[in-house]
């Protein structure tokens, strides 16, 4: 998922000829389990089992979402 003009969309619709990358969105909070899940699968394909691991990956930008606009 990516943001296009402020809306979440599937990254497959992004076309470099039609869309301009403007940066990445970093969520203000890293994922913390609400009790409904035990492990968080990071975008780097690593299973994160602890709050510390989630925080480290969040800081490293693994959970950032690319943003695009129409050109």
pLDDT tens per residue across span 17-50: 999 999 998 888 777 777 777 888 888 999 998 8
pLDDT for 51 beyond 90: no
Domain count, the chain: 1
Distance between CA atoms of residues 29 and 25, nearest Å? 12
Q: Which domain holds residue 21?
A: 2-70
Task: Please tell me the pTM assigned to this model.
Answer: 0.69
- Torsion sign, CA atoms 55, 57, 61, 63: negative
Q: What's the pLDDT band for 60 if we cut at 50, 70, 90?
A: very high
Say if residue 66's pLDDT is above 80: yes
């Amino acid at each position: 998922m990516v943001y296009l003009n402020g809306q979440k969309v599937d990254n497959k619709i992004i076309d470099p000829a039609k869309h301009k990358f403007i940066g990445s969105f970093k969520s203000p909070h890293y994922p913390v389990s609400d009790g409904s899940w035990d492990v968080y699968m990071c975008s780097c394909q690593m299973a994160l089992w602890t709050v510390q691991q989630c925080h480290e990956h969040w800081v490293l930008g693994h959970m950032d979402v690319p943003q695009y606009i129409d050109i």
